Amino acid sequence: MNTSEAKKTIAALTEQVNHHNELYYQKNKSEISDLEFDQLLADLIKLEEEFPQFKLPDSPTQRVGGAITKEFETVVHRYPMLSLGNTYSQKELEDFDSRVAKGLDGNPYEYFCELKFDGVSISLTYENGLLVRGVTRGDGVRGDDVTANAKTIRTLPLKVKGKNLPAQFEVRGEVYLSKKVFEQLNKDREDIGEETYANARNTGSGTLKMQDSREVSKRKLECYLYYLLGEDLGADTHEEAIKMIESWGFKVSPTYKKCKSLAEVMKYIDHWEKRRVELPLETDGVVIKVNSLQQQEQLGFTAKVPRWAIAYKYKSESVSTRLNGITYQVGRTGAITPVAELEPVLLAGTTVKRASLHNANEITRLDLRVGDHVFVEKGGEIIPKVTGVDLGKRAKKSSPVQYISHCPECKTKLVREEDQANHYCPNEKGCPPQIKGKIEHFIQRKAMNIDSLGEKTIEQLFDLGMVKSPADLYALRREDILKLEGFKELSTNNLLKGIEESKATPFESVLFAVGIRFVGKTVAEKLARYFKTMDKLVSSTYEDLLNAPEVGEKIAESVVAFFKDRSNLKEIERLRNAGLQFESSLKEPEKVSDRLEGKSFVVSGTFEHYDRDEIKDVIVANGGRVLSGVSAKLDYLVAGENMGPAKREKAEKLKVTIISEAEFQKMLGA
């Protein structure tokens, strides 16, 4: 393709992909299949790599991230980001309303009510329609420039088109992880034996401040906008401004409402107090704003907060009830979760009988005793939690909860590793919930994708002794399945078909499916690409594994331990005999030269000409190998900007050659 063609094609693809993104993320519609979309995006990525000079500022390829930020630059907010005054009662709200009425000299006014989203606030600046800067709130006066991370938020337009678009404007909103995404993130972590995150808000806020925007992109942050700032915006009311940003393609929560009186505001508050658990994200109150922008200006600000707006915070409804006992659940990785068994009590419209207690530390922190009266709360989340003990009601004779020492399911002695909050049952192969969990992991969509098999069927198959490990699935016979409750001719055929079809699932998915601790989908892909066959992986040593890209000590140890176990090897053999894919069809990045043949590299820090994955691809494409950690065997450490001092020190001590980006480029003959 010549340059002028490339320029045209890049522009056309950019527009096409942006169009489909907008349809999908802002209007919940799609005109093309996922596959077609991926193809367009892949074409664009390839062309942009070849002709970087034509990459457009609103290129959708920024959505997948790439830029690494070692230290976020501090930016002074054009308009300070103030917080809001809080109220907790109707009385306090009435006081606010009186102040507003007084401040407006008795003139009529309206309110605009929105929910108070529990995320992390962000300011986004657009110039000539293009998103140029994303800044966190910081201390209100200055915040951190997180533009590269903000650009990965799919629902946020990189370029806005619309009527009467001001040359420059700022929108503010709340970045959040939806409840669904947060749950899935924790499920994925649990699935590979990582500890789970405590709550969506902190995880979302941590995500926005991650250094690697590629990781941010994977986390699927979202953003609701609720504030437009700038000069000559052409809106007279907050309502008009909100509708304007909505029409420009920003995502606004549809829960807002204009209210003509305080009574209407109270109705809004009551309505959402009951229904907020149904919303896709956590909310902790309502924000009440004077609708007219001229009146907002008239009311102005105190030193800290606007006089024209206030937050009404929902009290997390709390009740006290008796703790009848503690039971323990065993998860699929053997992690133990303690559960509070409560005297049933009505809380926010539902009867609560149980509440999660997370882990042993939480029980110690609360100093729980069976028979105590405990406070149970339900916030914006669905699962209630125990927040404290009513000490006044504690029995004279009570003793702290003794955490269990043995698995409630299989009686094996529990273990707790030094740096972990959870206790684990180590009886992986004999503990029923762990066995069922392994099978559930094996069949899930990202693994073998046998969607004709559900949790209930697995339970039956296990209870009847027909399936004790994933390999048993491939030995199931029609007459066995027909014995299951609810299985007739059609469902049986379906199940057999699903199992049969799963045999074609690619090697990297098989590798993920077999359930090696700490081997998630991405690591499985890396291993499959590097080792190419199951046999090579099985016979790899700890050192071999450390040589594989991005494999560190924790993963290497886990893989070695897995394949050392005879019963795992037997299971792998049975899967092989069943006809599963044991060879990778993943392609290596196309080889362009042998210049780096036989040389190993660790890359660290940020680079001027490459993002971190790019430089790794270049190394592999030129015959080199990328390692994850510095060791005596390493040939080169490519030192970028802001490389950590620990890595440099280690490399110097081990006499590893440290090279700069320019020296690296010289090695390539560039």
Q: Which of 598, 588, 585, 599 is nearest to 621 (CA)?
A: 588
Instruction: Extract long-range pairs of 607-612: CB within 8 Å, 24+ residues apart.
Output: 607/640, 607/641, 607/661, 608/641, 608/661, 609/661, 609/665, 610/661, 611/66, 611/67, 611/68, 611/214, 612/66, 612/68, 612/212, 612/214
Pick from 72, 109, 111, 227 the residue near ligand IVH by CB under 6 A.
227
DSSP code of 193?
Answer: T
- Closer of 123 and 422 to ligand IVH (Cβ): 123
Q: Which of 473, 469, 472, 491 is nearest to 482 (CA)?
A: 491
Pick from 171, 287, 513, 548 the residue near ligand IVH by CB under 6 A.
287
In whole angstroms, how far apart are CA 664 and each of 79, 337, 590, 615?
Answer: 44, 50, 19, 10
Pick from 156, 192, 309, 510 the residue near ligand IVH by CB under 6 A.
309
Using the rule CB under 6 A, is 312 a contact of ligand IVH?
Answer: no
- As measured in angstroms, the least distance from the Cβ of 222 to ligand IVH is 13
Euclidean distance between CA atoms 485 and 482, whole angstroms: 8
Which value, to the nearest 10 degrees, does the dihedral of the CA atoms of residues 271, 272, 273, 278 take? 120
In whole angstroms, how far apart are CA 646 and each of 479, 604, 629, 641?
Answer: 62, 11, 11, 14
- Closer of 84 and 545 to ligand IVH (Cβ): 84
Using the rule CB under 6 A, is 251 a contact of ligand IVH?
Answer: no
Could you tell me which residues are beta bridge partners of residue 595? none
- Closer of 288 and 656 to ligand IVH (Cβ): 288
- As measured in angstroms, the least distance from the Cβ of 284 to ligand IVH is 8
For residue 599, what are its two tokens? Answer: 């040389």
Pick from 20, 63, 77, 116 the residue near ligand IVH by CB under 6 A.
116
Q: Which of 443, 453, 444, 436 is nearest to 495 (CA)?
A: 453
Using the rule CB under 6 A, is 135 a contact of ligand IVH?
Answer: no
Using the rule CB under 6 A, is 82 a contact of ligand IVH?
Answer: yes
Euclidean distance between CA atoms 646 and 605, whole angstroms: 12
- Closer of 145 and 362 to ligand IVH (Cβ): 145
Residue span binding ligand IVH (CB under 6 A) among the ranges 5-13, 77-85, 150-158, 507-515: 77-85
Residue span binding ligand IVH (CB under 6 A) among the ranges 92-100, 110-118, 489-497, 551-559: 110-118
3-state secondary structure at position 15:
helix
In the annotation, is 116 catalytic? Answer: yes
Pick from 14, 61, 121, 422 the residue near ligand IVH by CB under 6 A.
121
Residue 49's CB is within 10 A of a number of other CB atoms, namely: 12
Is 205:234 a contact under the CB 8 Å cutoff? no
DSSP code of 606?
Answer: B
Pick from 117, 126, 250, 610 the residue near ligand IVH by CB under 6 A.
117
Annotated active-site residue in 116, 159, 220, 436: 116
- As measured in angstroms, the least distance from the Cβ of 381 to ligand IVH is 17
Chain mean position to CA 517: 20
Nearest-CB residue for ligand IVH: 121
- Binding to ligand IVH by CB under 6 A, coded x per residue (else -) over 571-610, reads ----------------------------------------
Strand ranges for 462-538 from DSSP E: none
- As measured in angstroms, the least distance from the Cβ of 147 to ligand IVH is 18
Instruction: Extract long-range pairs of 88-96: CB within 8 Å, 24+ residues apart.
Output: 88/312, 88/313, 88/315, 90/266, 93/262, 93/265, 93/266, 93/288, 93/310, 93/312, 94/262, 96/288, 96/310
| Angle in degrees, 0-180, between the axes of helices 34-50 and 3-27, rounded to the nearest 10 | 140
Using the rule CB under 6 A, is 435 a contact of ligand IVH?
Answer: no
3-state secondary structure at position 121:
strand
Euclidean distance between CA atoms 84 and 311, whole angstroms: 6
Using the rule CB under 6 A, is 311 a contact of ligand IVH?
Answer: yes
- As measured in angstroms, the least distance from the Cβ of 152 to ligand IVH is 20
- As measured in angstroms, the least distance from the Cβ of 130 to ligand IVH is 24
- Closer of 54 and 226 to ligand IVH (Cβ): 226
Using the rule CB under 6 A, is 83 a contact of ligand IVH?
Answer: yes
Q: Which helix (H) or strand (E) holds 199?
A: none
- Closer of 284 and 525 to ligand IVH (Cβ): 284
Within residues 453-472, the interface with ligand IVH by CB under 6 A covers none
Using the rule CB under 6 A, is 96 a contact of ligand IVH?
Answer: no
- As measured in angstroms, the least distance from the Cβ of 576 to ligand IVH is 54
- Closer of 203 and 460 to ligand IVH (Cβ): 203
Pick from 25, 96, 112, 226 the residue near ligand IVH by CB under 6 A.
226
Pick from 84, 146, 447, 495 the residue near ligand IVH by CB under 6 A.
84
Euclidean distance between CA atoms 581 and 576, whole angstroms: 7
Q: How large is the C-alpha radius of gyration of the chain?
A: 29
Residue span binding ligand IVH (CB under 6 A) among the ranges 62-70, 80-88, 421-429, 606-614: 80-88
Residue span binding ligand IVH (CB under 6 A) among the ranges 306-314, 407-415, 458-466, 522-530: 306-314
- Binding to ligand IVH by CB under 6 A, coded x per residue (else -) over 151-190, reads -----------------------x----------------
Backbone angles phi, psi at 389, to 5 degrees: -115, 140
Using the rule CB under 6 A, is 290 a contact of ligand IVH?
Answer: no
For residue 172, what are its two tokens? Answer: 């503010």
In whole angstroms, how far apart are CA 169 and each of 58, 230, 231?
Answer: 17, 5, 7
- Closer of 84 and 556 to ligand IVH (Cβ): 84
**Given the rule CB under 6 A, which residues bind ligand IVH?**
82-84, 114, 116-117, 121, 137, 174, 226-227, 287, 306, 309, 311
Query: Active-site residue numbers?
Result: 116
